[in-house]
């Protein structure tokens, strides 16, 4: 069975990577003029800003909290000002990007969006509710993308079947999982659910390229590509620390100096958030049933202690 699945995957991925034009199922070009981003946190704001800067599209940023929207715009202004000061952008370019950003607390504002990217917290019920509503609000050609790092795309796509007038909505659901921080990292995972059409996959790859990103295509499997590889690496580093194989500095130093990564696994875990690392390891362990994904006891204990890394001021390092 494994060899059959491997052959199928090998056949599928090159087809997805060959076609980068944004087309509809009838072959007509679907021009993305307006992007909707749901969620004004760090990820959502980063996606919105890069889309305005690099892709030159009008972006509507949606969040249920006006305070979050105000903070997001203030942060965007800070980033644009910094880029101008460092000659990464000219003042006219910064002004143009700023002019393309608008905010609202109403999801109904996405009724004219050509492409929507959801970037809310990793709460399945919240995402399912948003996609159910998007299927009813957005036009029938709109691509509905999620930035999820762990939730099944097939399950998210299934939540769109609540609209009997648009039975094709689930075929237009895909994941565009951007790497954090979005303005800096080039990588993005494009993940298809069971229902996702090839045209939707191609459209997602093409639009992410338009944003200046480098796309990697993944199947809808627990952890996808990035977290399937990254989180066991971090978890094993925590186990090495817990069992005395090496101390914190030695573990991080050997990976930095031996593999040329910018930071070691324990420091990286602090920056990601130990609660996030634990949550993803739990998903991998529960959904695969494989003991190799069992979360480290030390990782669980640190989360229980409230030592979540950089955001809490203490993790493997003090901040």
Annotated binding-site residue? 127: yes
Annotated binding-site residue? 315: no
Annotated binding-site residue? 289: no
What are residue 29's phi and psi, to 5 degrees? -70, 130
Q: How many residues does the chain have?
A: 319
Annotated binding-site residue? 147: no
Letter string b/e over residues 144-177, b meaning 16 or more CB atoms within 10 A of that residue's CB: bbbbbbbbbbbbbbbbbeebeebeebbbbbbbbb
Annotated binding-site residue? 286: no
Annotated binding-site residue? 39: yes
- Adjacency order of strands within the sheet including 101-104: 101-104, 58-62, 34-38, 115-118, 143-146, 173-178, 187-192, 214-218
149 noted as active-site residue: yes
Decide: 288 and 296 in contact? Cβ < 8 Å.
Answer: no
Catalytic member of 68, 227, 235, 296: 227
301 noted as active-site residue: no
296 noted as active-site residue: no
The three-state secondary structure class of 237 is helix
Q: How far, in whole angstroms, is CA 203 from its chain's centroid?
A: 16
Annotated binding-site residue? 311: yes
Decide: 23 and 30 in contact? Cβ < 8 Å.
Answer: yes
Catalytic member of 171, 189, 216, 218: 189
Annotated binding-site residue? 256: no
177 noted as active-site residue: yes
Whole-number Å distance between alpha carbons of 216 and 228: 14
Annotated binding-site residue? 63: yes
Annotated binding-site residue? 43: yes
Catalytic member of 68, 132, 147, 149: 149
The catalytic site residues sit at: 149, 177, 189, 227
Binding residues for NAD(+): 39-44, 63, 122, 127, 149, 180, 311
Binding residues: 39-44, 63, 122, 127, 149, 180, 311
């Amino acid at each position: 069975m494994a060899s059959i699945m491997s052959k199928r995957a090998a056949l599928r991925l090159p087809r997805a990577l060959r076609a980068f034009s944004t087309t509809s199922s009838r072959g007509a070009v679907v021009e993305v003029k307006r992007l909707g981003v749901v969620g004004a946190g760090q990820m959502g704001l980063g996606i919105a800003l890069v889309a305005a800067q690099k892709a030159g599209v009008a972006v509507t940023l949606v969040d249920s909290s006006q305070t979050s929207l105000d903070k997001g715009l203030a942060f965007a202004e800070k980033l644009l000002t910094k880029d101008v000061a460092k000659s990464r952008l000219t003042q006219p370019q910064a002004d143009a990007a700023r002019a393309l950003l608008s905010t609202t607390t109403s999801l109904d504002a996405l009724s004219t969006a050509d492409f929507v990217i959801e970037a809310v917290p990793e709460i399945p019920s919240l995402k399912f509710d948003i996609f159910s509503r998007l299927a009813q609000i957005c036009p029938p050609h709109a691509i509905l993308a999620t930035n999820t790092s762990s939730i099944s795309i097939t399950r998210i796509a299934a939540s769109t079947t609540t609209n009997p007038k648009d039975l094709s909505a689930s075929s237009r659901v895909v994941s565009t999982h951007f790497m954090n921080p979005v303005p800096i990292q080039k990588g993005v995972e494009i993940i298809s659910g069971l229902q996702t059409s090839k045209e939707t996959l191609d459209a997602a790859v093409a639009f992410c390229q338009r944003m200046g990103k480098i796309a990697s295509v993944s199947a809808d499997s627990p952890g996808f590509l990035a977290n399937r590889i990254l989180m066991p690496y971090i978890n094993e580093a925590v186990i090495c620390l817990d069992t005395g194989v090496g101390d914190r500095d030695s573990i991080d130093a050997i990976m930095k100096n031996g593999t040329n990564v910018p930071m070691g696994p324990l420091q990286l875990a602090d920056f990601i958030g130990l609660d996030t690392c634990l949550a993803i390891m739990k998903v991998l362990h529960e959904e695969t049933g494989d003991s190799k994904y069992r979360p480290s006891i030390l990782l669980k204990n640190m989360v229980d202690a409230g030592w979540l890394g950089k955001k809490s001021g203490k993790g493997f390092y003090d901040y």
